[in-house]
Amino acid sequence: MLQKFINLTLLVLFGSAALSCSKDSNTPTTPAVVPTVKIENASLARTASAGTMHFNVSLDKTTTVPVSVDFTLQDGTATSPKDYTSASGTVTIPANQSNAEVAVQIKGDPTDTRQNNLEFTVQLSNPKGCTLGVSSAKGTILTEDGMNFTTDNAGYSTPLTYPGYTLLWNDEFSGNSLNASDWNYETGNGASGWGNNELEYYTNSPKNVFVSNGNLVIEARKEAIGGFNYSSARITTQNKKAFTYGRVDIRAKLPKGKGIWPALWMLGSNITTVSWPACGEIDIMELLGQEPAKMYGTLHYGASSATHGSKGTSYTLPSGTFYDRFHVFSMEWKQDQIKLFVDDNLFLTVNKADVGSSPYPFNAPFFFIFNVAVGGNWPGSPDATTTYPQRMIVDYVRVFQ
């Protein structure tokens, strides 16, 4: 049975017939016109069960005699036998035909693990009756859309209870999908890149936002979509969950890279009637990916864009980066005062008196926004050093009063 399985795996298909990849006594002879052989790249989405990836081998012209070429498989980020079944053999293209296939058995993954796509190489050699044109092809096992994502849980954490506070609302992201009773998806690029000339297109696709192993994951990718070159996600609790005063804790691990701009923030619920910045904005956490150890907290206010004002500062970790491990971004919010913390270290206090003559908008309901932007006026555009995908991973958000 084992030999039968191996022979089936190494079938070379052409037309309605099938040839074994092993050599036989009918060695091709040199044709009058020598064709050039090439092999094409192939890909296959990994599923829970095994599958077969097909590589097309073709000639630029047919001949009156059969031709052949040997092939071997070479590991890359995909390795045998973990990801595919190693094989070698000979592809024979019969007389008066121009195509054949190399079939490679791909291993299944019942865990549906999300990781960077895996690659291996099919290498051609020893042509008989033909010459080598494109002699190698990449085989890509598509694993980037898996729904099972794991990450190291190391880092700072905060309790579920505080003296004098009651847990009013929380999302521990313990299910298999985002809770539609609490969260909305905002899609597209907004007006002028959400007012910041951002370069991403926000989607509601599980490629960009999903829940796995107790975490919310917002993933920015470099891909063409909606006329833009990057995709990401932006979610809000607008018209579903809004809060005034209390303590907020958000445990998260942040992305990095030039032009990557994650944010955990809030807007006044009256934005649809008074617009920004009159509604107020509380940036609990913003980070510029080119400075992965430094984050910013800022409050925005003003009766109109012409009178926009802000109060904020930055916090730099004493060691490591916000990409390396989880940190907790907190707010203590009471009438006429807001304090921001990182890992319970106070770094910003804003009082009503600090906004001067501007209206103070922070004694009213606010809703949450979580997003990862790409590019924009503040971080600038990504460059060649920026790698993808980049992920913001949120363990929990908790509101106490």
Which residues participate in catalysis according to the annotation?
281, 286
Written as six digits, the tokens of 126 are 């020893």
Q: Cβ of 271: how many Cβ atoms within 10 Å? A: 18
Compute φ and ψ for 355, nearest 5 degrees.
-90, 0
- Total residue length of the chain: 401
Written as six digits, the tokens of 79 are 């390795």
C-alpha 207/C-alpha 221 separation (Å) is 9
Amino acid at 34: V
C-alpha 177/C-alpha 338 separation (Å) is 32
C-alpha 275/C-alpha 304 separation (Å) is 8
Compute φ and ψ for 6, nearest 5 degrees.
-65, -40
C-alpha 261/C-alpha 373 separation (Å) is 5
Exposure letters 22-33 (e unless 16+ CB within 10 A, then b)? eeeeeebeebee
Q: Give the β-pairing of 390-400 and 184-186.
A: unpaired
